[in-house]
Structure 1
Amino acid sequence: MVIQRFLITLILVLTVASGFFSTPLKAEEAKAKDVAEEGPDKKEREVRKIRKVPHTHDEQGGHEEQHEGIVRISKESYDLLGIETVKVTPSSPKEYIRTTAEIQFNANRVFHIGPRVPGRVVDIFADLGDEVKKGQKLAMLDSVELGNAVSEYLISKTNLSVQKAHFEREEMLWKKKVSSEREMLDAKSAYLRAKAEFEAAENKLHLFGLNEDDINTLRSETHSITAFPLLSPFSGTVVQKHLALGEMEEPSAQLFTVADLGVLWIILDIYEKDLTKINIGQEVKVSVSAYPDIYFPGKISYISDIMDERTRTVKVRVELDNNKRKLKPGMFATAEIATGGALPGHKELIIPCSAIQNYEGGKVVFVAIGDYSYKMKEVRAGNESNEHVEILEGLTEGDEIVTKGAFYLKSELQKEMLGHDHAH
């Protein structure tokens, strides 16, 4: 009996002691956890906390909302992200002139390069697609005619030196009354004739494409006096090349085409009834099938003064900025010119481009449905400008759509659905 009481007392003591030691231990663990949460990753955890979509219903209901494309966020998330919305209202669409045409080279910035005299190709320095600078050598040709021209130049240069010395001598003698005036004038005439022949021979070499440095080195033993270069007239891109080593080329041949692709042209046919709606400098939107979601800006730079009597249209030139090299000469394009007027009796839904998000091959927007909840809706877009886009299907008047923060909502929806798929 005594032993039994002793055992009971011992058990009670151990139980109390266990509670005494475990309580401080748990307190220390909790404190350590709090300290850790105050560390450098606290901000990241706050972001995760904000991203988490709270649910006020059971888990199954949340999964159904994910499939319906509904995203819920907290008020804290709403304030931190600065989500902005606007109501969809119908407006009168602008009137557009739409036409198709072919993209062309800028005719003022394209040059066909060929030899001025017959010659055989002995070296090629440029290839298709190369970016070349003004004055850069594209190829070298060897020409018998150039050899003859160089010989004429060297002979005329020597003759000029001789005739100049003779004239200076006769002029000195005439001033000293040693020789007659007639002898001095004859020497002067011969000198002027030699000078004219030399200048003509030098100009002929320039026509072959030789510059001053080339001409000054004609007497060099290592310099070929029968070869001449083909030079690029300006900086641009080699877009055509029609020559090979050893080929004999004539002056009519177009061996290279160099073009400035930074600015291209598109020539539009505008009907007579629309002429009062266009002006020089007016903006034009151009699209091509290769990039259906991109509009390329252009401006009207020329309106023809002549009307085609057969089609009753006028040629209008539009200059297109092509610094990114997406547009290619020869592409068919569609051009739209906003005339500034509104189509009477027409209404359409226009929303900011910032509301549109690309999602699984389509376009979507997020519509506010209350309580910091947003439903994703697929839409079909129509005409688009730099800031606004026409909505053909998917929205109705009065819908409140997200214009700032839509990308975040899309990301959260994708994460929620991904997590749901992994859970299953």
Structure 2
Amino acid sequence: MRHHHLLPLILTLACVCGLPASGAPPNGQAANQDILVKLTEEQIHAAGVETQPVEAESGVGEIVVPGVVSVPPQQLRIVAAPAAGLVETLLVAPDEDVKEGDPIATLKSSELVEAQRAFLLAMSEAALAVEKLRRDEQLFKERIIAERRLIVTRAEAAQARATLDERAQILALAGMTEPEIAALRKDRKLAAVLMVRAPLGGTILQRHGTTGERVAASAPLVTIARLDPIWVNLQVPLGRAVALDSVERVHLPSAGLDGKLIRVGRTVDSATQSVTAVAEFRPGRSPLRPGQALTAILRVKGGGSSQWRVPADAVVSHLNHSWVFVRVPEGFRAIPVTLVSETPQFASVQGPLAVGERVATRGLLTLLAELAEAESK
């Protein structure tokens, strides 16, 4: 039976015993001091209290936490329809790998036809403006026209070039490549079908559009992601967050991968009281898939303080601190400790313990009630 989630019960016991809601002991005793819980041998036996010995530890512990695989946001791209039109074909399927520039879909678009027509018109107007400027420059040299007319002609030519550049940019935004725009300049042949291409290499995660569907401009067609490196979002209990600064590496047992912790969140999930940490992995051929739930092991290196290994059931939360109950002749001594890491079987703690001391692992509800009563005196 685990006791880390007994805080509501302990607060109830504290209220019954007259402790203030703030969690501070009424007699002014500091929360970081050990407290003697006096019990006779008969009381200990009746409460079913059992103990196990404290063991010295090398200073490296583990925290087992759940995680979910996700794609780094900078490696995720939604390919949208560059212009309104009819989806003629979708050329890729989910989980298919594509390279940058590979065809994704074809669109029939009247907007594309109109944009090409406007481009050709701007190209003709720019050519006329250049010819008019050449003619007026010659007439000005022969003193046939005034300089004011030449200035106006130069401004008109500059405006025509700017309009042509604008129309070329509109075609590029509509999905036409530079070679396609160059071919339009040369052949002056309008294309009704637009080829949508992959903006980056990766894996198709999802198809949003369907063949034969009429879509608006910017409507999503497919989602592409680059899956190497990949992230795992870890949910770390708030009480263990202090150990995240000492994490050396993150291990995924199911995939046999080791990664590194790259980010620790500053906010706490109100529902789970956990902190989100992000670990990065190079999966290679390992089948890590976005959305996959898995278990991660955080390898934690202890600090300079003495570190001990105790059964996980021996560590309890009380008054926002972690405690263990050490057996002494008078009963038990409640000692505050720092929880460094934890597995389902064992916990690594730092505190004033010694090899050979025995800590309580069963019957802790009775000890907690006696602790609350001792604090109230």
- TM-score range, shorter-chain basis? 0.5 to 0.7
Equivalent AA in structure 2 for residue 92 of structure 1: E
Q: Is the 1:110–1:259 contact (alpha carbons within 8 Å) kept by the matching residues of 2?
A: yes
Q: 1:344 aligns with which of 308, 319, 340?
A: 308
Task: For residues 159-202 of structure 1, give each alpha carbon's deviation from its aligned partner in whole angstroms, at most 9, with x where no partner exists.
Answer: 00110111122123223322101110111121111112111111
Equivalent AA in structure 1 for residue 257 of structure 2: F
Distance in structure 2 (CA, Å) of the matches to 1:345 and 1:102: 29
Counterpart of 2:118 in structure 1 is 152
TM superposition shift of 1:228: 1.6
Q: Summarize the Cα distance change of 1:135–1:317 in structure 2 as closer, same or farther, 3 Å threshold.
A: same
Distance in structure 1 (CA, Å) of the matches to 2:96 and 2:187: 33
Q: Summarize the Cα distance change of 1:311–1:246 in structure 2 as closer, same or farther, 3 Å threshold.
A: closer
Give the secondary structure class of the aligned counterpart of 1:326. Answer: coil
Counterpart of 1:114 in structure 2 is 80
Q: Residues 399-414 of structure 1: matches in 2 within 5 Å?
A: none
Q: Summarize the Cα distance change of 1:220–1:168 in structure 2 as closer, same or farther, 3 Å threshold.
A: closer
TM superposition shift of 1:230: 1.4
Distance in structure 1 (CA, Å) of the matches to 2:190 and 2:246: 53
Q: 2:287 aligns with which of 311, 323, 326?
A: 326
Q: Is the 2:81–2:196 contact (alpha carbons within 8 Å) kept by the matching residues of 1?
A: yes
Task: For residues 342-375 of structure 1, give each alpha carbon's deviation from its aligned partner in whole angstroms, at most 9, with x where no partner exists.
Answer: 851449xxxxxxxxxxxxxxxxxxxxxxxxxxxx
Q: Is the 1:128–1:238 contact (alpha carbons within 8 Å) kept by the matching residues of 2?
A: yes
Please identify which structure carries the higher helix content.
1
Q: 1:189 aligns with which of 155, 163, 166?
A: 155
Counterpart of 1:92 in structure 2 is 57
TM, length-normalised to structure 1: 0.55
Distance in structure 1 (CA, Å) of the matches to 2:156 and 2:186: 29
Task: For residues 210-254 of structure 1, give each alpha carbon's deviation from its aligned partner in whole angstroms, at most 9, with x where no partner exists.
Answer: 111011112677965222221211111112123333221223532
Identical counterparts, % of pairs = 22
Q: Summarize the Cα distance change of 1:173–1:307 in structure 2 as closer, same or farther, 3 Å threshold.
A: farther
1:298 aligns with 2:259: yes
Q: Summarize the Cα distance change of 1:333–1:345 in structure 2 as closer, same or farther, 3 Å threshold.
A: closer
Distance in structure 2 (CA, Å) of the matches to 1:243 and 1:157: 35
Distance in structure 2 (CA, Å) of the matches to 1:245 and 1:221: 30
Distance in structure 1 (CA, Å) of the matches to 2:188 and 2:135: 36
C-alpha RMSD of the superposition: 2.7
Equivalent AA in structure 1 for residue 146 of structure 2: S
TM, length-normalised to structure 2: 0.61
Counterpart of 1:386 in structure 2 is none
Counterpart of 2:220 in structure 1 is 254
Structure 1's unaligned 5+ residue stretches are 1-89, 348-382, 384-424
Q: Which shows bigger deviation, 270-279 or 331-340?
A: 270-279
Q: Summarize the Cα distance change of 1:180–1:221 in structure 2 as closer, same or farther, 3 Å threshold.
A: closer
Counterpart of 1:12 in structure 2 is none
Q: Which has the higher contact order (CA 8 A, sep 6+)?
A: 2
Q: Residues 13-92 of structure 1: matches in 2 within 5 Å?
A: 92=57
Equivalent AA in structure 2 for residue 331 of structure 1: Q
Q: 1:229 aligns with which of 185, 195, 213?
A: 195
Q: Summarize the Cα distance change of 1:100–1:343 in structure 2 as closer, same or farther, 3 Å threshold.
A: farther
Counterpart of 1:175 in structure 2 is 141
Distance in structure 2 (CA, Å) of the matches to 1:182 and 1:222: 35
Distance in structure 1 (CA, Å) of the matches to 2:269 and 2:88: 48
Q: Is the 2:202–2:224 contact (alpha carbons within 8 Å) kept by the matching residues of 1?
A: yes
TM superposition shift of 1:145: 0.7
